[in-house]
Amino acid sequence: MIARGADRSVDCLTPVSRVLYLMLLAGLLFWLAPPMARALDAEPAQAPPLRIAVYDVPPYGYTNPDGSISGISVDLWRRIAERLERQFKLIPVADMESILGGLEQGRFDAAIGAITITSEREKRVDFSYPAHRSGVAVALRKDKGTLSALRSYGAATTELSPLIFGSLAMLIFIGVMMWVIERRHPSALGSESSVVTLRDGLYWAIVTMTTVGYGDKTPKSTTGRVIAVSWMFASLVWVSLLSTSLVSRLTADRVEAREMVNTIDLAKKKLAAVAQSSGAEYLDEHRLTYVKFNNLPDALDSLADGKSDAVVNSVGALQYLISKRHANTEEMPQGLLAPAYMAIALPEHSPLKRPIDEALLKITSDPEWIALEERFFGK
């Protein structure tokens, strides 16, 4: 009724009054248009902050003593959010299942940190363009000290046992032969330097083989001296062969320990990995038995304590934690079991995927960002 009344009042106006009325109405609308436009423009900024889960694994993401959250993945996300012009809230999460479940249930809008792209995770969530280079690697305990040296020497000696037993057999044979030949020689009677007993023969063979040659026991017969000369030359060759084989084996053990990712048989080791980590998925895929830990520091502690022989995990996290906590007891990974990439995890069909990918392409190709990553992980 009011509207109809207003229409009738307009109809009752004179033509001049009607024109003035319409001009007044247009001016009012023109005056109200800028505030309405500003309100519409400000609407995206009023959107709720993005909920970003941070996988608590240094150096990608971790909580400081003061409660702040740092890490190279956090730095990367801040740059992305600045390009997206979106506010966000960082939420530290300690285990991978909570991150994946939170994305599936809509509790998180994205997840950052040491999140490797794997086939199992691809079945549950989406991933952005790769954010970090990574890969599955192995950490080993450093072998050092007298006990370690004796252990290595014992292992090498066991492997070379056929050569060692052959040397002992040859030594005994030569000692017995020299005793048989020399004990009946006329000049052997009454001479303290003669080889007249089996003990003398073995003693002479040992000191001659080791090139010591005290000269307190010497052969007197022509045949004995011929055997002595032959044994001297044969001993040089035999001892050289034995010593070089032993040194080569000990050197090979050290090289294999440092390059174990290419040669070691993991099935023979007591393995450790963080539950649901990329290392655990690798071991599951290859059907290798391992002990599960809740976090990487606990797994590395088990390695330092001798409860595990190797820890399998993403290479960047291993390098960082070993350098910070176990540099004296554990070897840095020397290679990769399998190359991989880390990325930002997203709920399936997330509208954030495209703008995040575009931001990542620009940020990760920037020389400044490349230099920052190299400071963390090397080239």
Hey, what are 101's tokens? 């479940």
Instruction: Return all residues near 259 (Cβ < 8 A) that are at least 6 apart.
Output: 334, 335
CB atoms within 10 A of CB 159: 15
Task: Report which residue type is found at 264.
Answer: I
Mean pLDDT within 358-368? 93
CATH code: domain 263-338 is 3.40.190.10
Mean pLDDT within 4-11? 46
Whether the model clears a pTM of 0.75, i.e. scores above it, the answer is: no
pLDDT in tens, 175-185: 898 888 887 77
Mean pLDDT within 255-265? 51
Asked if residue 136 lies in contact with residue 340, where contact means CB atoms within 8 angstroms, the answer is yes
Would you state the pLDDT for residue 313?
A: 92
Q: Is the dihedral of CA 256, 259, 260, 262 positive or negative?
A: negative
Residues 50-131+343-377: name the CATH superfamily: Periplasmic binding protein-like II (3.40.190.10)
Would you state the pLDDT for residue 149?
A: 60
82, 87, 62, 85: which is closest to 74 by C-alpha?
62
Give Cα separations from 313 to 114, 138, 158 (angstroms).
10, 7, 33
Would you state the pLDDT for residue 14?
A: 64
pLDDT in tens, 45-96: 467 999 999 999 999 999 999 999 999 999 999 999 999 999 999 999 999 9
Q: CATH 1.10.287.70 in the chain, residues?
A: 147-258
C-alpha 289/C-alpha 284 separation (Å) is: 8
Asked if residue 109 lies in contact with residue 50, where contact means CB atoms within 8 angstroms, the answer is yes
Would you state the pLDDT for residue 342?
A: 94
347, 300, 346: which is closest to 320 by C-alpha?
300
Task: Report which residue type is found at 39.
Answer: A
DSSP-assigned states of every residue in 66-112: TS-EE-HHHHHHHHHHHHHT--EEEEEESSHHHHHHHHHTTS-SEEE
CATH code: domain 147-258 is 1.10.287.70
On the question of pLDDT at 322 being above 70, the answer is yes
The H-or-E segment that residue 54 falls in is: strand 50-55
Q: CATH 3.40.190.10 in the chain, residues?
A: 50-131+343-377, 263-338
